[in-house]
Amino acid sequence: MTTPVDTARLGGRMPASVVFSAKALRGRVEDLGNEITAAYTPADRLLVLGLLKGSFLFMADLVREIRLPLQVDFLVASSYGDDMESSGSVRLLYDPETSLEGRAVLVLEDIVDTGTTLEQVIPRLRARGPKSIEVCALLHKRLRPLEVEPRWVGFDAPNDFLVGYGLDYAEDFRHLPYIATL
């Protein structure tokens, strides 16, 4: 059962076509879990740090596929608001108090498009003395070369506005079990 969407408030916008099915997402998340498990050891004291709100479904599914002891925490960063284009300015709305000192930190991002969020958040995290910082992105648009490229990428994404599986438009469509164009 899907939640009704107020299409009038969205200017009639509804998802147009499925880009990544729920089945494809499940399979790729399982593969990523295996790759990440192979890259770390229990001694790394893995901390999985999800960028909210978009990564929450991806994170929940991925951490269940990582077969290592780990802890989770979140960052809330915003550069979109209710727009379909990034403002280019990243505001950190929630910054975890979890110690990063000497730990392997895995930052989970729902989608990398401009890379602005990662380029502003990663230096802040590095200043806290982690053993390592890696990025896992569910989707990557590859719009330009980045200073911090994700080590793991679920899918290369089209240069469209995407919703579903945590991705939203003005807070709607996060609940969809697939990823679609808007």
Residue 5 lies in a domain: no
Quick one: residue 106, left, alpha or beta (phi over 0 = left, psi -120 to 50 = alpha)?
Answer: beta
Residue 44 lies in a domain: yes
pLDDT for the residue 182: 84
Residue 69 lies in a domain: yes
Number of compact structural domains in the chain: 1
Find out whether 78 and 93 touch, Cβ atoms under 8 Å: yes
Task: Supply the CATH number for residue 36's domain.
Answer: 3.40.50.2020
Q: Which residues form the domain of 64?
A: 18-181
pLDDT for the residue 40: 98
Positive or negative, the CA dihedral 98, 102, 103, 105 is positive
Structure tokens at 135: 């990025």
pLDDT for the residue 85: 55
Residue 90 lies in a domain: yes
Report the C-alpha gap between 143 and 111 in whole angstroms: 12
What Å distances lie between residue 128 and 94, 100, 125, 131, 143, CA to CA?
A: 16, 6, 5, 10, 29
Find out whether 128 and 100 touch, Cβ atoms under 8 Å: yes
Active site residue ranges: 113
What Å distances lie between residue 10 and 4, 6, 166, CA to CA?
A: 12, 7, 17
Residue 88 lies in a domain: yes
Q: Compute how many other C-beta atoms are within 10 angstroms of the C-beta atom of residue 78.
A: 16
- Please state the pTM of the whole predicted model: 0.86
Residue 60 lies in a domain: yes
pLDDT for the residue 27: 98
SS3 83: coil
pLDDT for the residue 89: 66
pLDDT by residue, tens only, the chain of 182 residues:
334 444 444 455 676 789 999 999 999 999 999 999 999 999 999 999 999 899 999 999 999 999 999 999 999 876 655 555 555 666 666 667 789 999 999 999 999 988 888 988 999 899 999 999 999 999 999 999 888 899 999 999 999 999 999 999 888 999 999 999 98
Find out whether 163 and 179 touch, Cβ atoms under 8 Å: yes
Residue 100 lies in a domain: yes
